[in-house]
Amino acid sequence: MNSSLALSIERSKTLRVVAKNWAFFFLLFFLILFSITGRGFLSVMNFQNIVHLSVIAILMASAETFVIITSGIDLSIGFVMGLSSVTAGKIIQILYNSGNHSAGFSIFIGISIALVLSLIPGIISGIMIAKYKVPPFIATLGMWGITNGIALKISNGFPVAELPDSLTKIGNGYTLYYKPGGGFSFFGLPEGVGNEHIRDYIRLIPNSFLFLAIVLFILYFLLKKTKFGQHTYAIGGNEDAAIRSGINVKKHLIIIYTLSSFIAGIAGIFNIFQTGIGNFTPFGAMYELFAVAAVVIGGASLMGGKGGILASVVGVLLIAVLENGLLISGVEPFYRFIAVGLLLILAIVIDELFPDLF
């Protein structure tokens, strides 16, 4: 009798671990499944591709994580990203094509200005939300329209092209090039080796990884190890209690929305490095909604107080692996939308079934 009780507790313990980290286990499950069904899925190159292509989604989800933990929402990040990408593109284009400035200088100036500008939408929505009690949904939806309109105006409805080649060289390059039996080199093919030999080399760790890892580490540290992060959770858990315990909630919320907007700005910079052009965000992209989806799949609650950067990254990767795996297995890409929808519902249902776990 005693042993059966212990067994059932033990069993429920494993169940609890699985249920709590279901997104992670789901990810593992899909990795195994697609390794069997999709040819070429299980390769270093493909995994690197998956992460390389989800860099922007991961940044978006990280931005949304901070906001959602405070029980808010930021619908503007998708278009703030577009705005940042287009602004940087336009400035680089003007400086570089004037002929007076080097590519490096123009890129540096373009990025800096775009990043500073990307703070503004966040400051405005933050003030609206914190000071004037505009619901986050409305304030950021307003910003959604405004940033989208400005980005389209700057780019005149076309992507900003004619930018220096060094952008994509950095954005799509790898940290390490290695030739079996031959030498290896960092950040590019060894000198004197032409691009036609690139297939002989094993390319490891895309540059975007490296930058992403740095950004993610900072955000993770900020959320988990600092007072700022603690206060963020406190506000989401119980705003009144947070106010009473002396947290300057208004100021904190403004910083949170500014941070979210800034991360979206960084995503815009990644975007310009990866594509080599300044892109405005198309309507159907719905970056912000997919980011919310990833964060919720990762285990956060829209009611606030829960969630983490790594969990959100798992959420993004789950969607990305599903998409990539379906594609490689020869399934129509449109199932992506359906799959994300079903995953989301599953996430909430699991949350409902094990309410005490989280």
Partner 1 sequence: MQNLNNHTRTGLLLKIGRQWALLFLFIELIFFSFMARGFLSLNVFQIIFFFGTAVFLLGTAELFAIITGGIDLSVGYVMGLATIVSAKLIVAFTKTGMGPGLSITLGILLTLVIGLLPGYVNGMLISKLNVPPFIATFSMLGISHGVSELLIAEKAAKNLPQLANTIGNGYFLYYSKGIGFSFFSRPEVARRVKVVEILPNVVVIAFILIAVFAFILNRTKFGQHTYAIGGNRDAAIRSGINLNRHIIKVYMLASFLATIAGVLYTLKYVTGKADAGASSLLDSIAAVVIGGASLYGGKGTVWRTILGGLIIAVLETGLRIMGIPTFDKYIIVGIILITAVLVDQFFPERTYKE
Rounded Cα–Cα distance for residues 24 and 106 (Å): 42
Which residues in the 210-239 window bind partner 1 by CB under 8 A?
A: none
Specify the residue, 58 or 343, whose C-beta has the smaller distance to partner 1: 343
- Minimum distance from residue 291 beta carbon to partner 1 (Å): 11
DSSP, collapsed to helix, strand or coil, labels residue 286 as coil
Task: Indicate whether 324 belongs to the interface with partner 1 (CB under 8 A).
Answer: no
CB burial of 239-251 (b: ≥16 within 10 Å; e: otherwise) equals beebeeeebebee
DSSP, collapsed to helix, strand or coil, labels residue 205 as strand
Ramachandran bin of 286, using left for φ above 0, alpha for ψ from -120 to 50, beta for the remaining angles = left
Cβ neighbours for 123, distance < 8 A, ≥ 6 positions apart: 254, 257, 258, 261
Task: Indicate whether 340 belongs to the interface with partner 1 (CB under 8 A).
Answer: yes
Specify the residue, 271 or 323, whose C-beta has the smaller distance to partner 1: 323
Specify the residue, 107 or 293, whose C-beta has the smaller distance to partner 1: 293
> Which among 97-105, 194-202, 255-263, 341-349 is the span making contact with partner 1, rule CB under 8 A?
341-349
User: Site mask, partner 1, residues 275-314, x = CB under 8 A?
Assistant: --------xx----x--xx--x-----xx-----------
The two three-digit tokens of residue 49, written as one number: 């591709």
- Minimum distance from residue 335 beta carbon to partner 1 (Å): 6
Pick from 235, 237, 238, 259: which is nearest to 247 by CA?
Answer: 235
Specify the residue, 85 or 207, whose C-beta has the smaller distance to partner 1: 85
| Amino acid identity at 343 | L
Task: Indicate whether 73 belongs to the interface with partner 1 (CB under 8 A).
Answer: yes
End-to-end CA distance of the chain: give it in Å, rounded. 30
Residue with tokens 């040819």: 39
- Minimum distance from residue 77 beta carbon to partner 1 (Å): 15
Which residues in the 126-165 window bind partner 1 by CB under 8 A?
A: 128, 132-135, 137-139, 141-146, 148-150, 152-153, 156-157
Task: Indicate whether 348 belongs to the interface with partner 1 (CB under 8 A).
Answer: yes
Specify the residue, 15 or 348, whose C-beta has the smaller distance to partner 1: 348
Cβ neighbours for 318, distance < 8 A, ≥ 6 positions apart: 23, 26, 27, 30, 294, 297, 343
Rounded Cα–Cα distance for residues 22 and 345 (Å): 13
- Minimum distance from residue 127 beta carbon to partner 1 (Å): 11
Task: Indicate whether 344 belongs to the interface with partner 1 (CB under 8 A).
Answer: yes
Rounded Cα–Cα distance for residues 107 and 144 (Å): 26
DSSP, collapsed to helix, strand or coil, labels residue 87 as helix
- Minimum distance from residue 233 beta carbon to partner 1 (Å): 19
Q: Are 64 and 78 in contact (CB under 8 A)?
A: no
- Minimum distance from residue 306 beta carbon to partner 1 (Å): 13
Task: Indicate whether 45 belongs to the interface with partner 1 (CB under 8 A).
Answer: no
Task: Indicate whether 103 belongs to the interface with partner 1 (CB under 8 A).
Answer: no
How many amino acids of this chain bind partner 1 (CB under 8 A)? 45
Binding site for partner 1 (CB under 8 A): 73, 128, 132-135, 137-139, 141-146, 148-150, 152-153, 156-157, 283-284, 289, 292-293, 296, 302-303, 332, 334-342, 344-345, 348-349, 352
